């Protein structure tokens, strides 16, 4: 039943109209494969004429929806936005603030990790994320946000003052 639902909604998601929704938050094989595919597809949409470093990200919400994003550069370099933050901002703009996992893709032969700014933006929404760092050949490793941003500062730290 889940397979049919994914296939039915897949066309809508690829056109950018609706995200794909999974009925549960368990990150099973089918969900993971879709998350990995969506980050690769997002990478192909990257606008990176200056760095020529395309990156794609796919974000799984706690409710089971996937939002993808790519990096978007600007001639004024500091105005560029990373793929990870693009995906997060898309999810936030649709009312989601709880996240389960993110997959990240690039054309690099080795794994890439989110930049410091992206890590801090992720941290705003918790530390219990799984990050799937991928290579073009399809291999991936899994890291937690806590591993990538240890001893972090988050919203709860503002309550301590």
pLDDT tens-digit map of 44-96: 999 999 999 999 999 999 999 999 999 999 999 999 999 999 999 999 999 99
Contact 70, 47 (CB under 8 A): yes
Look up the CATH number of the domain holding residue 97.
Answer: 3.40.140.10
In a domain, 52, yes or no: yes
In a domain, 5, yes or no: no
Cα-trace Rg, the chain: 15
In a domain, 18, yes or no: no
In a domain, 17, yes or no: no
Known binding site for substrate: residues?
71-77
**Tokens 């998601």, residue located:** 13
143 DSSP β-pair partners: 131
In a domain, 133, yes or no: yes
Query: Of 14, 30, 65, 84, which is the active-site residue?
Result: 84
List the domain range (segments joined by +) for residue 136: 27-149
In a domain, 65, yes or no: yes
Q: CA-CA-CA-CA torsion for 48, 95, 34, 154, nearest 10 degrees?
A: 70
Q: Would you place residue 43 in the very low, low, confident or very high pLDDT band (cuts 50, 70, 90)?
A: very high
Active site residue 84: yes
Q: What's the total number of domains in the chain? A: 1
Q: CA-CA-CA-CA torsion for 156, 144, 96, 82, nearest 10 degrees?
A: 100
> pTM for this structure?
0.83
- Residue 142: DSSP 8-state: E
Q: State the Cα–Cα distance between residues 65 and 144, nearest whole angstrom.
A: 19
Q: Would you place residue 107 in the very low, low, confident or very high pLDDT band (cuts 50, 70, 90)?
A: very high
List pLDDT tens digits, range 132-159: 999 999 999 999 999 999 999 999 999 8
Known binding site: residues?
71-77, 82, 115, 118
């Amino acid at each position: 039943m889940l397979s049919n639902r994914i296939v039915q909604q897949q066309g809508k998601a690829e056109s950018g109209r609706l995200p794909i929704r999974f009925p549960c938050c368990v990150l099973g094989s089918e969900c993971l494969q879709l998350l990995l595919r969506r980050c690769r597809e997002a990478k192909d949409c990257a606008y990176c004429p200056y760095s020529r470093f395309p990156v794609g990200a796919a974000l799984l919400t706690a409710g089971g929806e996937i939002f993808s994003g790519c990096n978007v550069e600007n001639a004024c370099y500091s105005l560029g936005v990373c793929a990870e933050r693009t995906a997060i901002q898309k999810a936030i703009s649709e009312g989601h603030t709880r996240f389960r996992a993110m997959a990240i893709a690039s054309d690099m032969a080795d794994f890439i990790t989110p930049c410091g700014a992206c890590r801090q933006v992720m941290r705003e929404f918790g530390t219990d994320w799984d990050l799937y760092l991928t290579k073009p050949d399809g291999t991936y490793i899994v890291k937690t946000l806590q591993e990538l941003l240890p001893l972090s500062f988050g919203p709860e730290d503002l309550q301590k003052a």
